[in-house]
């Protein structure tokens, strides 16, 4: 099997120091620095026995069966370390582009509700495949489409906003040792129809889900080795950042860094 290396972008969604006033809702919180301890000072960790994590894998990480097995192995490690894990996946690399193209070819001015019906299918494939791979690796797992949770959105088909996520059942499953494998990008609108969250929307799904299940961490695995000060393919002097604030990441995302979807950073 081929090895794929991943880089985790960690978005701290909740922190013990903030929990007092965060509640269950999704709201902005200042990032909490995790700088190394000053000399002579001891770093104090508030680490619960078990950590609830949302792990998100993008299209290149689930592009073929070997990579899906690799993702399953990665998830298995977190489960075996004693963590409660939910996974969010994108469609296989290239799949969504193909689906979008088919809609456009049939009619440039297509019905946005039918567009969502079509483009949301990519994630249905990968959640099922990853659940199978996890089960084959001895991990209890189950796939979830957006409407099954449900992830409720407004009716802006093609670029819907997340309005609410029912987290209780997923939490219950995680506590009983099952891994929910959740389709990124999908929701259900007020008209009971499938919606999608805009291109790159699985990042947003992961962050919103992390808030809904009160996860300690949302780890976004991606196929680049980090966030740089500018595009390293164009500017050789670009520096890789060890750590980045929400504000800086928001700025980079909004001017076109493809690492994280802008709305996901806003929500985080």
Instruction: Compute the Cα dihedral for 258, 225, 181, 118 and give only its sign.
Output: positive
Q: Which does 201 bind (CB under 5 to 8 A by kind): Mg ion, ligand ASP, none?
A: ligand ASP
| Pairing assessment for the beta strands 151-153 and 162-165 based on DSSP bridges | antiparallel
Cα separation, 114 vs 99, in Å, equals: 11
Omega before 150 cis (within 30°)?
yes
Q: What DSSP character marks residue 61?
A: G
In the complex with ligand ASP, the residue whose CB is nearer, 185 or 228, is 185
Cα separation, 189 vs 205, in Å, equals: 15
In the complex with ligand ASP, the residue whose CB is nearer, 178 or 222, is 222
In the complex with Mg ion, the residue whose CB is nearer, 204 or 215, is 204
Q: How many residues bind ligand ASP (CB under 6 A)?
A: 12
Cα separation, 161 vs 144, in Å, equals: 19
In the complex with ligand ASP, the residue whose CB is nearer, 53 or 259, is 259
Q: How far is the CB of 137 from Mg ion (least distance, A)?
A: 25
- Write phi, then psi, for 14 (nearest 5 degrees): -135, 155
Stretch that binds Mg ion, among 27-35, 71-79, 120-128, 192-200 (CB under 5 A): 192-200
Stretch that binds Mg ion, among 71-79, 125-133, 199-207, 210-218 (CB under 5 A): 199-207
Q: Which of residues 112-171 bind ligand ASP (CB under 6 A)?
A: 122
Among 4, 54, 58, 268, binds Mg ion (CB under 5 A): 58
User: What percent of the chain is helix, strand and coil (3-state, nearest 5)?
Assistant: 35, 20, 45
Q: Which of residues 171-230 bind ligand ASP (CB under 6 A)?
A: 184-185, 199-202
Q: How far is the CB of 184 from ligand ASP (least distance, A)?
A: 5
In the complex with Mg ion, the residue whose CB is nearer, 187 or 200, is 200
How big is the CA angle at 265 (ends 261 and 268), to the nearest 5 degrees? 135
Chain residues binding ligand ASP by CB under 6 A are 58-59, 90-91, 96, 122, 184-185, 199-202
């Amino acid at each position: 099997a081929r090895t794929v290396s991943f880089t985790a972008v960690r978005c701290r969604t909740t922190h013990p120091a903030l929990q007092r006033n965060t509640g269950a809702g999704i709201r902005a919180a200042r990032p909490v620095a995790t700088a190394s301890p000053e000399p002579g000072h001891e770093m104090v960790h508030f680490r619960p026995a078990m950590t609830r994590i949302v792990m998100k894998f993008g299209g290149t990480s689930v592009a073929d069966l070997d990579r899906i097995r690799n993702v399953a192995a990665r998830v298995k490690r977190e489960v075996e370390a004693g963590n409660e894990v939910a996974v969010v996946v994108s469609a296989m690399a290239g799949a969504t582009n193909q689906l979008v193209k088919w809609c456009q070819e049939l009619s440039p001015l297509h019905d946005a509700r039918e567009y969502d019906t079509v483009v949301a299918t990519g994630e249905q494939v990968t959640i099922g495949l990853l659940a199978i791979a996890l089960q084959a690796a001895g991990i209890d797992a189950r796939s979830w489409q957006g409407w099954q949770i449900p992830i409720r959105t407004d009716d802006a088909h093609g670029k819907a906003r997340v309005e609410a996520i029912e987290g209780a059942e997923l939490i219950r499953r995680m506590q009983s040792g099952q891994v929910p494998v959740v389709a990124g990008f999908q929701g259900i609108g007020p008209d009971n129809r499938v919606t999608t969250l805009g291109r790159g929307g699985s990042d947003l799904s992961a962050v919103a889900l992390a808030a809904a299940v009160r996860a300690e961490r949302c780890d976004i695995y991606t196929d680049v080795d980090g966030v740089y000060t500018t595009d390293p393919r164009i500017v050789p002097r670009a520096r890789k950042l060890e750590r980045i604030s929400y504000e800086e990441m928001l700025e980079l995302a909004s001017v076109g860094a493809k690492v994280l979807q802008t709305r996901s950073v806003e929500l985080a």
